[in-house]
Amino acid sequence: MIHEIVDLMQAIPMFDKTAGSQLNVIAAHMNILKLEEKEQLFSEGEKSDYMCFVVSGKLEVIKRADSGKPVTVSTLTRGRSIGEMALLDTYPRSATVIAKTPCTLLIISREKFDNILEQYPAVGISFLKGVSEMLSLQLRKASGLLADAS
């Protein structure tokens, strides 16, 4: 199964510069999840302890507005990720995520991520750097959207 996961990781830009031996370590700590159309991945307010990478399909990210109305804030496709904050903090999910189409995802839990950091620090630091870069880009995009909305 590790070889299958390594093959699927080729769809994720974060892993483009990751050496083969490091990919094998990360893959050994990941699982594959398949979602059907309209299946919910997680719900806003739930406890969180894993992040996902989209290998195929489309995910819809929905945030509840102050009015209570659900608002689609993003659609994620191949190569994107969701739930990065769950590896770094213990706060509840900040949005609901539903499959718009059948999806294949790679998942890593906080526990497995922590195992990588303990057993393979260089791999863990590389992975953490990739997650940090993704979060930084998302924050830059969000702040740009907020500035444009003003």
Q: What share of the chain in percent tops pLDDT 90?
A: 75
Alpha carbons 114 and 6: distance in angstroms, whole number: 20
Alpha carbons 131 and 127: distance in angstroms, whole number: 6
Neighbours of 96 (CB within 10 A): 19
Q: Can you list the domains of the chain with their CATH numbers?
A: 2-112+119-138 (2.60.120.10)
Q: pLDDT band at residue 75, thresholds of 50, 70 and 90?
A: very high
pLDDT tens string 83-140: 998 888 999 999 999 999 999 999 999 999 999 999 999 999 999 999 988 888 888 8
What's the pLDDT score for residue 136?
86
State both tokens at 99: 């499959």
Alpha carbons 108 and 99: distance in angstroms, whole number: 18
What is the value of pTM for the model shown? Answer: 0.89
State both tokens at 25: 């370590």
Alpha carbons 35 and 130: distance in angstroms, whole number: 25
